[in-house]
């Protein structure tokens, strides 16, 4: 078949006749085989044209005996080297691995090899030398197998197979039996296990993984036979250079682009970590720039440079032997430079430095941990280099003076171990070992007493020449530098220095790039290193660059780690504008912003005006909300709590619950232009059907029909319409009001004011409502109304039967209208819901979805989240510690969270007094207990089971009727903090410090830090005083007494003194808060 195809392609012509000519020359036997394979005539013609086009492009069609190596220039001037081979991925992948290893070792760059079923593709930068070709792919069979075995553990295949082997060995068993862990979670866990297993010798799972890769996946036997065929000549390789990729190269190029297409779709920390993981020689080509300095952390550069130059305090030398080491390691130095690197005679390290910087024989720190983990290639870093804060730590002892350093140098000269020399017009002291190189390279005269062995310089063939050796040492002991710096240091011309550096680059000892400029003195004396301010730094030692890159990479990876819960708590507080002093918003516009952020969130009505609005809008008044609702900019909807049904025992608890059920348990606000907002409905949207005149509707149906007939009806208009629809003796205004409220609490009706909800809440809480004013105007002909329904006497009797409507005027005031669900489709509403949650919390996780009241939690939103992730709008990962494994956030949010984590407490100075924030425990901005775990209570006491307060319907996860147990010392157990209505949480720097039960009767502390307790207690007392003054004289008279602290009588604890300093008064039963309603302070 191959010969027939080749014969058909041999006489093929180009242009429009190619397809017809190729099809006409197909061998009849081949046509029969293609037809049996399912190819119709058009497919056969296309196949023939493809083969003909490949033959025309490369001169030969690849088969099992002829492999084609194609070279083609891409759009950027670089070259693609493609091997066309029919042996499949099982042979090509290990072959590509060996080719990549050869290129890296011999040519010094990463070819980014990619293997596919039909070949191998390499990327070769533009070069002046001969392009590599078939010689790249020819290997000794045994050598190739050895290379594959050595490199297989660094492949993605090895990591995937290791995960499967570890799962079969039950090393990755799920935490919940019977439930399968998500694949991405398995990958994370397997990656951690693999990193840990690499440090163990002959770990059995590693061996089994290697066996699977080498025997089950890779076909090394076939590859070995192929290499033997190439060596014997039975298989040949043909080279071809094309101006455009050949037809067979298309799938290879598409596969390569697919692997490297997306490079800017990560947050800054992940993007920087990914770039640092690449070979530095390719960074400029991949990014269009060779400014490697952008990827190196400046603090890391300064620290490493100070350590290399022995300027860091913990790296200073001591005594004459130390001075000799400085000259030998760093090269010629002036007396002043030696003094900066020497401790004063008799000096000693600062307190605790030896303990902190001491290291054992294996190089691991015996004192404090390193600020970040250095990579394995940083093998030259000494223990002192990795000591925490080595470059910025305070000086443990004073450095030597120039006179003291000169005395030591003269001692070395007298011992014939050092000598002064003029280098670059400056007198410097040099070690005797450098006498020969300095004389040969710089012409420096050596003293007559220097031994002949030190004057001999090895031939250049045995190593670098004298000048290159001096330049290489300068590079090894400095960070990034410019050629002018090394030229000035050695007293040579810049062009001579440049040529020496180029030779070192060719030898792989120096890396060239753009590392910024020397801007002047740096920390810890590094400015003494960069002698020429403003000079461009384009060179760095390869060894030093590996160290800088590994440490910068480790620091960048540390930034990728999930931020602590305290940083996320501060972010949410700022995002929602919540604060102790009433937040950052003002006026009606501020209320509108809060509603826009919380659109569709159902909260208790008392919570909205009790703490949600006041904690975010500093001058909040109920009239602001009424103004927005009356203007038609905001609509509200209500619904009952799911647990609001009263108990069936009929006791006092049932009567209390029944009273609470009369109130709108949950209320949500919507901007009227929101896709989530319900709309005012007519009869069709509301689901009301036309009722035959002969059939009398129920009261609720009649109210729906009345509301459907027009928008914005007053209660009396609704009552008149209902009376016209029903028999007067069957209905009174009380039943109409009850039916109207039933529609409200089921989410089917709303009002243009929030007064009915406030009145219902007041009735539920037992507060006496303000009586409605009497009717001030009435028609003298009102007796005619209702005459058609039964006459004047029936109308008068109906009016007399109204009970309580006048006293409940506020509950029925305003204009009423029907509500229907949003007409938007499910997709639009789902996307809007996700965006709304992200507006409030920035990060969407399982607990955040449940806190936002999403039916079904995060699982219901996963289709939308996956689509948004695929579109690049969201990222998935673990961004916040303790918030669950599956988290979604925008890239900007991820970067902002890490900024909060890096800035620490600096952002909290604007939130409340001293950075303290006091919020209601059930406030949406407080995630503790709903998405983040409560911190442990101070003193190490394990909290007991949580018992809900009597009648408290909002305490989640609290088992009904849970009994409190006794602690071992006989004291009652401490109740667990919960998101109960009326409870408060006082935070400092995003960390909960105090939890106060409703009324401040009981206080729990999460820390024993006296300073934090004192500061937070003052903020808590100030918050309670503001709330009391907001209630006027009645609020000020309310008794607020702290009775217990951490489950013990508060008077028996030191916390009583803290409360007393905060303004509370000591009484026999506890610490009481007295508030002057007319004063700003606490009395």
Tell me the Ramachandran region of residue 859: left when phi exceeds 0, alpha when psi lies from -120 to 50, beta otherwise: alpha
Show which of 532, 559, 586 is a domain's final residue: 559
Rounded Cα distance between 621 and 644, Å, is: 29
Spell out the residues 6+ positions from residue 443 whose beta carbon is closer than 8 angstroms to its own: none
CA distances from 382 to 168, 308, 319, 363, 524 (A): 41, 10, 20, 7, 18
Query: Higher pLDDT residue, 346 or 798?
Result: 346
Question: Which residue shows structure tokens 């297993």?
Answer: 197
Q: Which long-range contacts (CB under 8 A, 24 or more apart) does 736-742 make?
A: 736/699, 736/703, 737/805, 737/808, 737/811, 737/812, 738/699, 739/698, 739/699, 739/700, 739/702, 739/703, 740/703, 740/715, 740/812, 740/816, 741/662, 741/811, 742/700
Beta bridge partners of 1070: 1067
CA distances from 471 to 331, 430, 655 (A): 10, 15, 92
**Rounded Cα–Cα distance for residues 319 and 482 (Å):** 32
**Host domain of residue 427:** 295-559
Q: Rg of the chain over CA atoms, in angstroms?
A: 41
Give the residue from 797, 723, 711 showing the smallest Cα distance to 749: 711
Taking the model in full, what pTM does it have? 0.52
- Cα separations in angstroms, 228 against 134, 139, 219, 224, 232: 15, 9, 15, 6, 6
* Co-location of 91 and 203 in the same domain: yes
Q: Which two tokens stand for residue 380?
A: 């030259």
| Residue 174 and residue 67 share a domain | yes
How far is it, in rounded angstroms, from Cα 564 to Cα 823?
41
Tell whether 892 is covered by a domain: no
The neighbouring-strand residues paired with 694 are none
Contact yes or no for 371/388 (Cβ under 8 A): yes
In a domain? residue 68? yes
Q: Give Cα separations from 968 to 972, 973, 974 (angstroms).
A: 9, 9, 12
3-state secondary structure of 1039: coil
Q: Determine the distance from the C-alpha atom of residue 720 to the mean position of all C-alpha atoms in its chain, rounded to a whole number.
A: 60
**pLDDT tens profile 985-1008:** 999 988 999 999 988 889 999 999
- Tell me the C-alpha distance between 1057 and 1014, whole Å: 9
Q: How far is Cα 889 from Cα 843, in angstroms, rounded to an integer?
A: 5
Q: How many residues does the chain have?
A: 1083
Which range is least confidently modeled, 655-659, 874-878, 1061-1065?
655-659
Both tokens assigned to 1035? 């609020």
What pLDDT, in 10s, does the model give residues 107-132?
777 787 888 888 999 888 766 456 77
The angle subtended at Cα 1002 by Cα 1001 and Cα 1006, nearest 5°, is: 150
**106 in a structural domain:** yes
Weakest-pLDDT range from 227-231, 744-748, 825-829, 1028-1032 = 1028-1032
Looking at residue 530, its pLDDT comes to 41
Give 54's pLDDT tier (boundaries 50, 70, 90). confident
22-26, 421-425, 469-473, 871-875: least confident range: 22-26
- Does 248 lie in the same domain as 320? no
What are the angstrom distances between the C-alpha of 368 and each of 349, 353, 359, 372, 951? Answer: 16, 10, 10, 11, 52
Give the SS3 label for residue 236: strand
Say if residue 208 is in the same domain as residue 308.
no
- Predicted confidence at residue 679, as pLDDT, reads 84
Q: Higher-confidence residue: 310 or 375?
A: 310
| Tokens coding 106 | 């011999």
Residue 534 has pLDDT above 80, yes or no: no
pLDDT, tens digit (0-9, with 9 covering 90-100), for 955-993:
333 333 333 434 444 444 567 888 888 899 999 988 999
Structure tokens at 721: 């319409």
Which of 559, 592, 621 is where one domain is finished? 559
- Other Cβ atoms less than 10 A from the Cβ of 286: the count is 14
Q: Are residues 194 and 322 in the same domain?
A: no
* Contact by Cβ (8 Å): 330, 309: yes
Q: Are residue 339 and residue 211 in the same domain, yes or no?
A: no
Q: What angle do CA 262, 263, 269 make, to 5 degrees?
A: 135
Query: Which tokens hold the place of 358?
Result: 């001491």
pLDDT digits (tens, 9 = 90+) for 639-653: 887 654 433 333 444
8 A C-beta contact, residue 993 and residue 987: yes
In a domain, 276, yes or no: no
Q: Check: CB of residue 995 under 8 Å from CB of residue 1013.
A: no
Same domain, 234 and 313: no
420/487 same-domain check: yes
For the record, the structure tokens of 506 come out as 């060719």
Is there a domain that residue 299 lies in?
A: yes
Give me the DSSP letters along 92-147: HHHHHHHHHHHHHHHTSS----EEETTEEEEEE---SSPPP-GGGT---HHHHHHH
Q: Which of 441, 444, 533 minimizes the C-alpha distance to 485?
A: 533
Q: Which of these three, 237, 260, 283, is where a domain ends?
A: 260
Task: Compute the average pLDDT of residues 847-876.
Answer: 83
C-alpha torsion sign, points 972, 974, 979, 981: positive
Q: Give domain status of residue 411, yes or no.
A: yes
**Backbone dihedral angles phi then psi of residue 139, each to the nearest 5 degrees:** -130, 155
Is residue 612 included in any domain, yes or no? no
Residue 332: pLDDT band (50, 70, 90) is very high
State how far the Cα of 22 lies from the Cα of 143, in Å rounded to an integer.
43
Q: What confidence score (pLDDT) does residue 728 get?
A: 65
pLDDT-based confidence at residue 439 (cuts at 50, 70, 90): confident
Q: Is the same domain home to 218 and 355?
A: no
Residues 6+ positions from 719 with CB-CB distance below 8 Å: 733, 736
Predicted pLDDT at 714: 86
Task: Let me know whether 111 and 192 are in one domain.
Answer: yes
Residue 509 and residue 524 in contact, taking contact as beta carbons nearer than 8 Å: no
pLDDT for 496 equals 92
Tell me what the mean pLDDT of segment 664-673 comes to. Answer: 85
Question: Which pLDDT band, with edges at 50, 70 and 90, does 285 fall under?
Answer: very low
Residue 1055 burial by CB count (10 A; 0-12/13-18/19+): exposed, middle or buried?
buried
pLDDT number for residue 384: 35
- Are residue 250 and residue 311 in the same domain, yes or no? no
Residue-level pLDDT at 389? 38
Whole-number Å distance between alpha carbons of 54 and 108:
32
The pLDDT value given to residue 645:
40
Stretch among 384-398, 478-492, 884-898, 1005-1019 having the lowest mean pLDDT: 384-398
Handedness of CA 534, 537, 541, 544 (dihedral sign): positive
Residue 14 within any structural domain of the chain: no
Assess contact for 340 and 482: CB atoms under 8 A: no
SS (H, E, C) 394-440: CCCCCECCHHHHHHHHHHHHHCCCEEEEEECCEEEEEEHHHHHHHHH
DSSP, residue by residue, 532-579: STT-B--EEEHHHHHHHHHHHHHHHHHHHSPBPHHHHHHHHHHHHT--
pLDDT band at 287 (very low <50, low <70, confident <90, very high): very low
User: Domains in the chain: how many in total?
Assistant: 3
pLDDT score recorded for residue 772:
45
d(CA 950, CA 998) in angstroms, rounded, equals 12
- Tell whether 172 and 311 lie within a shared domain: no
């Amino acid at each position: 078949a191959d010969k027939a195809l080749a014969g058909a392609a041999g006489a093929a012509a180009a242009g429009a006749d190619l397809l017809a000519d190729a099809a006409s020359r197909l061998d009849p036997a081949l046509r029969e085989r293609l037809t049996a394979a399912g190819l119709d005539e058009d497919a056969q013609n296309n196949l023939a044209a493809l083969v003909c086009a490949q033959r025309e492009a490369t001169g030969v069609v690849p088969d099992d005996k002829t492999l084609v190596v194609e070279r083609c220039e891409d759009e950027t001037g670089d070259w693609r080297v493609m091997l066309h081979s029919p042996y499949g991925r099982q042979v090509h992948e290990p072959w590509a691995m060996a080719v990549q290893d050869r290129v890296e070792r011999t040519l010094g760059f990463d070819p980014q090899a990619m293997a596919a079923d039909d070949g191998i593709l390499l990327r070769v930068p533009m070069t002046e030398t001969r392009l590599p070709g078939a010689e790249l792919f020819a290997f000794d069979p045994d050598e190739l197998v050895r290379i594959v075995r050595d490199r297989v553990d660094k492949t993605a295949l090895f990591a995937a197979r290791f995960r499967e082997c570890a799962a079969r060995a039950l090393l990755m068993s799920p935490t919940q039996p019977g439930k399968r862990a998500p694949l991405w979670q398995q990958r994370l866990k397997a990656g951690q296990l693999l990193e840990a297993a690499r440090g163990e010798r002959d770990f059995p799972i590693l061996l089994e993984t290697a066996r699977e890769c080498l025997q089950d996946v890779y076909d090394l036997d076939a590859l070995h036979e192929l290499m033997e065929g190439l060596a014997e000549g039975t298989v040949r390789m043909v080279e071809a250079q094309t101006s455009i990729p050949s037809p067979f190269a298309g799938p290879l190029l598409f596969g390569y682009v697919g692997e490297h297409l997306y490079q800017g779709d990560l947050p800054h920390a992940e993007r920087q970590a990914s770039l640092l993981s690449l070979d530095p020689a390719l960074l400029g080509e991949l990014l269009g720039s060779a400014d490697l300095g952008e990827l190196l952390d400046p603090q890391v550069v300064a620290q490493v440079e100070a350590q290399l130059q022995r300027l860091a305090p913990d790296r200073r030398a001591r005594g004459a032997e130390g001075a000799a080491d400085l000259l030998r390691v760093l090269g010629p130095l002036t007396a002043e430079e030696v003094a900066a690197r020497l401790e004063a005679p008799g000096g000693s390290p600062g307190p605790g430095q030896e303990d902190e910087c001491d290291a054992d024989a294996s190089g691991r720190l015996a004192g404090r941990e390193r600020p970040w983990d250095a990579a394995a290639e940083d093998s030259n870093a000494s223990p002192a280099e990795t000591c925490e804060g080595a470059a910025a730590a305070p000086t443990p002892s004073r450095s030597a003076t120039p006179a003291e350093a000169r005395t030591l140098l003269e001692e070395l000269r007298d011992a014939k171990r050092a000598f002064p020399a003029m280098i670059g017009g400056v007198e410097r002291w040099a070690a005797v070992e450098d006498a020969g190189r300095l004389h040969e390279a710089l012409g420096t005269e050596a003293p007559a007493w220097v031994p002949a062995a030190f004057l001999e310089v090895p031939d250049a063939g045995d190593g670098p020449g004298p000048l290159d050796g001096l330049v290489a040492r300068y590079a090894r002991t400095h960070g990034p530098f410019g050629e002018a710096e090394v030229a000035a240091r050695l007293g040579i011309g810049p062009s001579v220095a440049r040529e020496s550096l180029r030779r070192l680059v060719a030898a792989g000892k120096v890396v060239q790039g753009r590392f910024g400029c020397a801007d002047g003195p740096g920390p810890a004396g590094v400015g003494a290193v960069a002698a020429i301010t403003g000079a461009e730094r384009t060179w760095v030692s390869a060894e030093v660059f590996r160290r800088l890159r590994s440490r910068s990479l480790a620091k960048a990876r540390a930034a990728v780690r999930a931020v602590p819960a305290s940083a996320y708590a501060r972010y949410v507080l700022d995002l929602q504008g919540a604060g102790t002093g009433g937040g950052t918003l003002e006026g009606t516009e501020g209320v509108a912003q809060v509603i826009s952020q919380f659109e569709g969130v159902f909260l208790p009505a008392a919570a909205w005006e009790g703490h949600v609005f006041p904690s975010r809008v500093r001058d909040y008044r109920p009239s602001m909300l009424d103004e927005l609702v009356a203007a038609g900019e905001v609509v509200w909807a209500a619904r009952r709590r799911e647990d609001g049904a009263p108990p069936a025992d009929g006791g006092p608890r049932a009567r209390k619950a029944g009273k609470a059920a009369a109130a709108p348990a949950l209320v949500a606000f919507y901007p009227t232009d929101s896709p989530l907002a319900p709309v005012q409905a007519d009869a069709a949207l509301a689901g009301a059907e036309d009722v035959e005149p002969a059939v009398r509707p129920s009261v609720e149906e009649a109210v729906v029909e009345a509301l459907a007939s027009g928008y914005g009806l007053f209660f009396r208009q609704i009552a008149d319409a209902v009376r016209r629809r029903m028999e007067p003796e069957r209905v009174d205004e009380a039943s109409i009001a009850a039916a109207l409220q039933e529609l409200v609490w089921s989410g089917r009706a709303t009002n243009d004011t929030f007064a009915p909800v406030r009145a219902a809440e007041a009735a539920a809480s037992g507060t006496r409502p303000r009586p409605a004013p009497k009717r001030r105007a009435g028609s003298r002909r009102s007796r005619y109304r209702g005459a058609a329904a039964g006459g004047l006497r029936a109308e008068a009797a109906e009016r007399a039967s109204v009970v309580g409507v006048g006293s409940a005027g506020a509950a029925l005031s305003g204009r009423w209208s029907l509500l229907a669900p949003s007409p938007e489709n499910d997709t639009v509403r789902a996307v809007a819901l996700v965006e709304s949650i992200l507006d409030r919390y920035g990060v969407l996780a399982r607990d955040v979805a449940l806190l936002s009241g999403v039916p079904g939690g995060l699982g219901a939103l996963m289709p939308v989240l996956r689509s948004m992730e695929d579109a690049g709008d969201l990222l998935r990962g673990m961004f916040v510690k303790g918030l669950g494994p599956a988290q979604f956030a925008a890239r900007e949010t991820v970067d902002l969270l890490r900024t909060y984590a890096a800035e620490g407490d600096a952002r909290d100075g604007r939130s409340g007094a001293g950075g303290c924030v006091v919020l209601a425990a059930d406030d949406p901005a407080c995630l503790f207990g709903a998405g983040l775990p409560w911190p442990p209570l101070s003193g190490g006491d394990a909290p007991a089971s949580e018992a809900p307060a009597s009648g408290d319907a909002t305490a989640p996860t609290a088992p009904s009727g849970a009994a409190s147990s006794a602690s071992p010392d006989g004291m009652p157990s401490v109740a667990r903090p919960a998101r109960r209505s009326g409870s408060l949480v006082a935070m400092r720097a995003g960390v909960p410090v105090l939890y106060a039960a409703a009324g401040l009767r009981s206080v729990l502390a999460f820390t024993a830090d006296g300073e934090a307790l004192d500061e937070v207690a003052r903020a808590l007392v100030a918050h309670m005083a503001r709330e009391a003054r907001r209630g006027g004289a009645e609020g000020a008279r309310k008794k607020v007494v702290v009775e217990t602290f951490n489950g013990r009588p508060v008077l028996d604890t030191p916390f009583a003194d803290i409360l007393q300093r905060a303004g509370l008064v000591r009484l026999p039963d506890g610490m009481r808060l007295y508030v002057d309603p007319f004063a700003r302070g606490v009395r």
